[in-house]
Amino acid sequence: MQLQALLATSNPGKLRDFAGAAAPYGITIANIPHFSSLPEVVEDGATFEENARKKAESYSLAVSGELVLADDSGLEIDALGGAPGVHSARYAADEPHNAECNTDDAANNARVLRELKGVSEQKRTARFICVMAVARDGHTLHTFRGAAEGIILDAPRGQHGFGYDPLFYFPQIGKTFAELSAAEKAQYSHRGAAFRAFLEWHREA
C-alpha cells in the first residue's frame, strides 16, 4: 500500500524538498486540501520543535484520520550566536521575533552577509536544522530532527533551492545547497535527514 502524507506548508520550496526526499521510497507528499483557506498558525515557539508540533497538531484537525507532517527549520550561524535560528524566515524584519509575516529570501540573505562582513571563513560555520512533527487528529505522534553542517559563503552561488541555500556551502560535496538537484538535496539536507527518520519510524509503527 502506498503511503501518502499531507504536508502542512504554503512554501513551495519545502513541498519540493519533501517530495524529492519521499520519491525514492514510493511515497506521495501532497499539500493539505484547501490549505490556503485554513486559519494560519502563529509560529511563536521558542524552538523549532515547538513550532513544528504546533503546526502539525493544528492543521491535522482539518483532515480527520490523516497523517499530517509539519516542519520548522532554519539556519544557525555560530558567529551570530545561533541566529537567525527560529526567526530564519523573518530575519530581514526590523524585529524578527515580532514580525507577522516572512521576509524576502534575498533580504534575509543580505542581512546575514552584512552581519558576517569581515568574519573569516573558519568562523563562518553554520548548520541547517529541521524538526519535523507528525500528527493525527490534533495529537503529535512523534518528532524527528535532521541537521546539515556547512559554511556561509560571502556571496550567493547556485540557482536552485530557496531561503539561505545559495549561501550554505556543504564541504562534503563542494557545493552550495542551491547548486544541488532535488535528488542530491534530499540525500544531504537537513530535511532529507528528518524525513528518513520519519520513514524509519513509520516502518516500525
72 as an active site residue: the answer is: yes
Q: Which of 17, 44, 71, 72 is catalytic?
A: 72
Q: Identify whether the C-beta of residue 191 lies closer than 8 Å to the C-beta of residue 21.
A: yes
Q: What is the DSSP annotation of 172-205?
A: TTTEEGGGS-HHHHHHHSHHHHHHHHHHHHHHH-
Please name the residue that has the C-alpha cell 530581514: 92
CA angle 186, 167, 87 (to 5 degrees): 85
The rounded distance, in Å, linking the Cα atoms of 149 and 188 is 10
pLDDT given at position 96: 86
The rounded distance, in Å, linking the Cα atoms of 22 and 133 is 16
The whole-model pTM stands at 0.91
Q: Which positions ≥6 away from 106 have C-beta within 8 Å?
A: none
pLDDT given at position 134: 97
The rounded distance, in Å, linking the Cα atoms of 121 and 126 is 11
Domain boundaries, the chain: 4-204
pLDDT given at position 2: 63
Nearest C-alpha neighbor of 73 from the set 201, 189, 203, 167: 189
Q: What would the pLDDT profile of 71-120 be if each residue is shown by its tens digit?
A: 999 999 999 999 999 999 999 998 888 887 889 999 999 999 999 999 99
Q: Which CATH class is domain 4-204?
A: alpha beta
pLDDT given at position 79: 98
What average pLDDT is seen over the chain? 93
The stretches of the chain forming alpha helices (DSSP H) are 12-22, 48-60, 105-115, 182-188, 190-204
The dihedral through the CA atoms of 85, 96, 88, 119 has a sign that is negative
pLDDT along the chain (205 residues), means of 10: 80 86 84 91 93 97 94 97 96 87 93 97 97 97 98 96 96 96 90 92 80
DSSP symbol at 158: -
